[in-house]
Amino acid sequence: MKVPDYIAKLKAYVPGKPIEELEREYGISGCVKLASNENPIGPSPKAVEAIKEALKDLHRYPDGYNYLLRQRLGEKLQVSSSKIVFGNGSNEIIELLARTFLQEGDEVIMPSPSFLMYEIMVQAAGARPVKVSLKDLAVDLGKMAECVSGDTRMVFVNNPNNPTGTIVSRDAFEAFLDRISSDVIVVMDEAYIEFVRDEICPRGLDYLDSEKAVVTLRTFSKAYGLAGLRIGYGVMKKDIADYINRVRQPFNTNMLAQVGALAALNDDAFFERTIRLVHEELDFLYEQASKMGLRYFPTQANFFLIDLEQDANEVFERLLSRGVIVRAMTAYGYPNYIRVNVGLPEENQRFVEALKEVL
């Protein structure tokens, strides 16, 4: 069997184990999962009801064009529906961008550490990832601009950045765009944009009609609570969307995902409750970390980093034995840091109590 060298060298994405498996391994029950940046409230109730109603139509193929969701989302975002591409999570849009526009020898600039799928999708297309280290835990746009070469075809800007929760400023982003050729696709990954509180944060949609090729990625997994349905989207210039639609599978988003996303998009009460809870509980967790004398890093997402000043993997294991799941940041180059996403108040309190015990 012959496999291209750039595929053979790929490192597969390793997802976290499901709660049920961890509970079985450790002989515990009633775990609190604060590791995957999920919506602490759960899914939108309107989405659940819409999905129940749609179950009777499972023998039908889904709408390959996402017509109803496309129209509603276009209205909400105030963009032409022809500029929206839907995917099996926003990470599929990353894959489609790579498959459509990259070839062997091309370079793609990305922050590091950041979302692991950038590197995987770029390498799978035969292109070369060019990783630029963060500066003070934030995406270093100046350094990324310096790395642009004649072989650069794409740049990823994760804003807010995962795993650090930091953002770039509007002024910095516009100065960055001024240095980038219109032939280079700038991908603004905004999976956590709904949680941002800082007004200096740019939005990719504001640059949709500029001369630069800015693609904005968003998802229904986080603020809308539909991670299990896998549906996200990209907003881009019409010609970019047209090329991607030639490559994507005709039924890449399933019927239940479409129905659930449409209902969640219309559930303003659920959305507002989610944002309010995340902000309130972040402030609570900040306060508790300060009381424990821990250094934490304020975030613009629904997760944040804590510096434990000791081996994060060991603390992760001790927390897990107490039924609290967080994410150790060793694989991201921060061996003493853990990443914690906001849970329900009682879950956050349990995390705080467990962390006090293990420290």
- CATH number assigned to the domain comprising residue 180: 3.40.640.10
Asked whether residue 99 falls in the same domain as residue 112, the answer is yes
Same domain, 36 and 116: no
102 phi/psi in degrees, rounded to 5:
-110, 150
Give Cα 60 distance to the centre of its chain: 30
pLDDT, position 43: 97
Q: What is the pLDDT of residue 114?
A: 97
Measured in whole angstroms, the distance separating CA 138 from the mean position of its chain's CA atoms is 16
Tell the burial category of 227 from Cβ atoms under 10 Å away from its Cβ (0-12, 13-18, 19+): middle
71 and 32 within one domain: no
Peptide bond just before 160 cis, omega within 30 deg: yes
Domain count, the chain: 2
Q: Is residue 37 within 8 Å of residue 227, measured between CB atoms?
A: no
Q: How far apart are CA 157 and CA 324, in angstroms?
A: 31
Are residue 63 and residue 180 in the same domain, yes or no? yes
CA–CA distance, 34 with 339 (Å, rounded to integer): 8
Is 255 within 8 Å of 60 (Cβ atoms)? yes
| 291 and 194 co-located in one domain | no
Tokens read off for 309: 């000043």
User: Which pLDDT belongs to residue 27?
Assistant: 80
- Is the Cα dihedral 90, 92, 97, 102 positive or negative? positive
Query: Which CATH number is 338's domain given?
Result: 3.90.1150.10
Answer with the one of 202, 232, 265 that is the final residue of a domain: 265
Last residue of a domain, one of 248, 265, 282: 265
Q: Answer yes or no: do 49 and 36 share one domain.
A: no
274 and 317 both lie in a single domain: yes
- In order, the DSSP letters of 31-50 are -EE-SS---SS-S-HHHHHH
Of 211, 242, 265, the residue that ends a domain is 265
Range of the domain at 287: 5-43+269-358
Q: Is residue 54 within a helix (H) or strand (E), and if so which, with residue range?
A: helix 45-54
Mean pLDDT per 10-residue section of the chain, whose length is 359 residues: 82 75 79 95 98 98 96 98 97 98 97 96 96 98 98 98 98 98 97 98 97 98 97 98 96 98 98 98 98 98 98 96 95 96 98 97
Strand (E) or helix (H) holding 316? helix 312-320
Based on the fold, state whether residues 66 and 139 are members of the same structural domain. yes
Same domain, 72 and 215: yes
Q: Which residues pair with 234 in a beta bridge?
A: 85, 217
Residue among 274, 191, 200 nearest 234 (CA): 191
Token code pair at residue 19:
């709660």
User: So what's the pLDDT on residue 94?
Assistant: 98
Q: Say if residues 180 and 210 touch (Cβ distance below 8 Å).
A: no
- Assess whether 17 and 142 both reside in one domain: no
pLDDT at 13: 76
Same domain, 181 and 327: no
* Together in a domain, 257 and 273: no
